[in-house]
Structure formats: C-alpha cells, structure tokens
C-alpha cells in the first residue's frame, strides 16, 4: 500500500521499436548468403554440409553456381544437401547438373537429385525419374515417385502405375499420392501369391 505523500514509481517508458529499411535488411541477407557460400569450401565437413542445407532456405540465385560445384564435394553429406537446395532455389540452371547427379553411385545423391528435380518441376526430368522408379534403393524410388507427382506430367502415368507393384510399402504409398495428384484413381489389391496388383482410372 502506497504511503500518503510518497509518489509512486514512474511508469516504465517503452523504447520505440527501430524498423530497418528494406535495403538494409536485404544487404544483411546478402552478406549471410555470401558467408554461407564461402563455407561451402571450408575444410570442415560440418560447416560445408550446414552451408549446403541453409542455402536452400535462402533461395538466392547467387548460390546456384557454388551449389552446383558442391555436387562434386568429396563427401555425399554435402552433395545430396546441395542437390536439395538447388531444387528449393528453383533456378533452371540446376536442371542438367541434377540430371547428371541421378547417375551417381551414391544413393543419397541420387535421392537428393530426384527430390531437387521434383522441386524444379521441369518436364524434361520425367524420363530420368521414371528410370529411378526402378532403382535398387527404396529411398531413391520413393523420392522419384514424389518428384513425378510434383511435376504432374501425364507421360509418367504408365510408369507410376507399374510401380504400384513395388515390393516396398512406402514406395507404393508415394506412387499412389503421385497418381492422385495427377488425377488418376488407383486401387491396390493382392493377387493369389500375395503380391500387390493395381488398377487405375484417369479422371
């Protein structure tokens, strides 16, 4: 309780918020991007893969060239994240390098390249992605199915329908989602041997 004649505490004064000009904010972002590009060539592997990953969220075209170079990093940890970031940026310059990356012996790079191609959504990737639907690695097949659904080119429908009999359930689910995105209804049943069979109808 306040004593008589004793003034109470002065009300707290709020400091006015400082709003940066858009040009200042953009310059800070550009500096951050350039810093990440520099880290792509750092000797420390952890710095390189973190930079490869973060550049995708920046979506800055200045990073496209350095990320394409990072597809040839000695470690696949960097390669596949660079492939995904190229897809996130969405620059068409990444198309050919990503197509080439799908031929890598590293499953993670093939998977990352498939995902990146799905983000680019260029129909020229369809044939290569259909080939990846038959890859020996589940992760690659699953990413290829997702990418084909993202591109949504009807040329992929026959290949996707065939992939509904994939032995892996997660791949079949990805294929069904891809076909649904393209307006093709599918029904998966099992034959007498217990293997999945499919029927489909286009809309």
Q: Look-up: residue for tokens 């032995």?
A: 167
Give the whole-angstrom CA distance, residue 126 versus residue 155: 8
| Cβ count within 10 A of residue 136 | 7
* Tens digit of each residue's pLDDT (9 = 90 or more) over 93-132: 999 999 999 999 999 999 999 999 999 999 999 999 999 9
Report the C-alpha gap between 84 and 94 in whole angstroms: 10
What's residue 70's pLDDT?
98
**Percent of the chain, pLDDT > 70?**
81
Cβ neighbours, 10 Å, residue 2: 8
Average pLDDT over all residues of the chain: 89
Is the per-residue pLDDT at 173 higher than 50?
yes
pLDDT tens digits, 137-147: 999 999 999 99
Burial class (CB in 10 A: 0-12, 13-18, 19+), 113: buried
Q: Which two tokens stand for residue 61?
A: 């075209």
Beta strands in the chain (DSSP E): 184-190, 196-202
Inter-residue contact 116 to 83 (CB < 8 Å): yes
pLDDT of 47-67, one tens digit each? 999 999 999 999 999 999 999
């Amino acid at each position: 309780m306040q004593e008589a004649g004793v003034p109470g505490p002065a009300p707290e004064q709020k400091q006015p918020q400082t709003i940066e000009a858009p040009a200042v904010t953009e310059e800070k972002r550009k500096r951050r991007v350039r810093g990440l590009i520099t880290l792509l060539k750092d000797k420390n592997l952890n710095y390189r893969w973190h930079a490869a990953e973060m550049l995708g969220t920046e979506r800055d075209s200045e990073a496209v060239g350095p990320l394409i170079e990072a597809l040839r990093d000695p470690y696949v940890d960097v390669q596949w994240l660079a492939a995904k970031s190229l897809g996130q940026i969405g620059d068409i310059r990444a198309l050919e390098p990503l197509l080439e990356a799908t031929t890598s012996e590293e499953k993670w790079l093939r998977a990352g390249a498939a995902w990146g191609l799905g983000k680019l959504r260029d129909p020229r990737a369809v044939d290569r992605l259909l080939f990846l639907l038959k890859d020996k690695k589940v992760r690659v097949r699953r990413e290829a199915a997702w990418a084909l659904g993202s591109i949504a080119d009807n040329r992929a429908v026959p290949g996707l329908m065939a992939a509904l009999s994939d032995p892996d359930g997660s791949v079949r689910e990805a294929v069904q989602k891809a076909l649904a995105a393209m307006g093709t209804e599918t029904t998966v049943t099992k034959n007498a041997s217990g293997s999945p069979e499919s029927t489909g109808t286009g809309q």
